[in-house]
Structure 1
Amino acid sequence: MSTTDSFHYLTDAAGKPEAVVLPMADWLELKQYYRQLQGRELVLNGMHRALREVPEILTGRQPEISLDDFLASL
């Protein structure tokens, strides 16, 4: 990413920052990084839900699903 010198800050009449203008290359890099974070969040949320199901399965309150059944459901 570029140095902070390449960023431009837009301010209101009182000098309060309202927006940032940055080079397109930096914007595209940030956008790609955000997409990666979203993908990681989906995976981690899925793992979290699965781990919360384990006690339910172990106590018989939720049916156990075999790996074959799980893969067939995808």
Structure 2
Amino acid sequence: MSATDSFQYLTDAAGKPKAVVLPMADWLELKQYYQQLHGRALVLSGIGEALREVPEILAGRQPEISLDDFLASL
């Protein structure tokens, strides 16, 4: 990313910061980084949900799903 001096801050009449303007290259880099983080968060969330289901499956309160059935559902 560019140096922070390439950012511009927009302020209201009282001088309170309201927005930031940054170069398009920086915006695209931040957008790509956010998308990667969002993808990772979705994967981790899915893993967490699966781990919470294990005790329920082992206790017989939730049905097991075979790998073939899981893959077929994608």
Measured against aligned partners, the alpha-carbon deviations of 1:9-43 in whole angstroms (never above 9, x if no partner) come to: 11111111011110000000000001111101110
Measured against aligned partners, the alpha-carbon deviations of 1:35-60 in whole angstroms (never above 9, x if no partner) come to: 11110111011101100100000000
Structural RMSD (CA): 0.7
**Any stretches of 5+ residues in structure 2 without a counterpart?**
none
**In structure 2, what residue type is equivalent to 1:69?**
D
| Residue aligning to 1:52 | 52
Distance in 2, matches of 1:73 and 1:24, equals 39
| Residue aligning to 2:36 | 36
Distance in 2, matches of 1:10 and 1:66, equals 55
| Residue aligning to 2:5 | 5
| Residue aligning to 1:21 | 21
Identity %: 85
The count of aligned residue pairs is 74
